[in-house]
Amino acid sequence: MSVKKIWPFGKSEQHEFEQLVMPHLKRLYKLAFRFAGQRDDAEDLVQDVLLKLYPRLDEMKTVDHLGSWMARVLYRHFIDKLRSNKRSLLQLVDDETILEDYSDNTQSPSNDLDMSILQDRLEYSLSQLNGDQRLLVMLHDVEGYTLQEIHNLHDVSIGTLKSRLNRARSRLREILKTMEPFEADRRVNE
């Protein structure tokens, strides 16, 4: 009795797929984490997208900006999952902090406290933005996506994205300004 080959791809196709995907995997996961808000959900989301893309290897080879294209596939898959699960849209701020910890172990406790206060203020300020503004700030300012890449993700013109980003940043400044304990002329400057 012969064994049927279930997986239609060989080692060379697997290697080609890995070569195409690996440079974009970390960024794809970070984006999935921002969308899903939880590590397990982000991992599942990336895995689902990779399984969806694997049979499309030939198409992936012809894509000019593969990272942006894969991010768009991820976004659309995420939205499809949201619609099917009827969950609320984009839970970006959860128990995780917005800023990654870039501090080294040699910093003083006062610097750690300052960083913690800043993170808390930023998290609160971001939570006060509407979902679209928060997503735009997260994609552009936190994750480093260009306006062109965001345009490719959402099919919104770059001019509109610029004005929305400007409004979101202005709103963040307003919120952060209300959190200052003293007015600008009463602050002690170093």
* pLDDT single digits (tens) 120-142: 777 788 888 888 888 888 888 87
Are 4 and 63 contacting, i.e. CB atoms less than 8 angstroms apart?
Answer: no
The structural domains of the chain, with segments of one domain joined by +, span 11-85, 109-186
C-alpha closest to that of 41 among 52, 56, 31, 51:
31
**Which of the four CATH numbers 1.10.3720.10, 1.10.1740.10, 3.40.50.2300, 1.10.1760.20 does domain 11-85 have?**
1.10.1740.10
For residue 45, the model assigns a pLDDT of 92
Determine which helix (DSSP H) or strand (DSSP E) holds 25, and give its type and residue range: helix 11-36
Is the pTM higher than 0.85?
no
Q: Is the pLDDT of residue 103 over 60?
A: no
The confidence band for 96, taking pLDDT boundaries of 50, 70 and 90, is very low
CA–CA separation, 189 and 25 (whole Å): 44
Q: Is the pLDDT of residue 183 over 70?
A: no
Q: Which residue has the tokens 């060989």?
A: 10
The confidence band for 58, taking pLDDT boundaries of 50, 70 and 90, is confident
CA–CA separation, 30 and 186 (whole Å): 40
Mean pLDDT of 130-158: 85
For residue 78, the model assigns a pLDDT of 85
What ranges in 54-146 are assigned the alpha helix state H?
57-62, 66-85, 109-127, 131-137
Architecture of domain 109-186: Orthogonal Bundle (1.10)
Kindly compute the dihedral angle of the four CA atoms of residues 51, 52, 55, 57, in this order, to the nearest 10 degrees. Answer: -100
Q: Which token pair is 138?
A: 């997260």
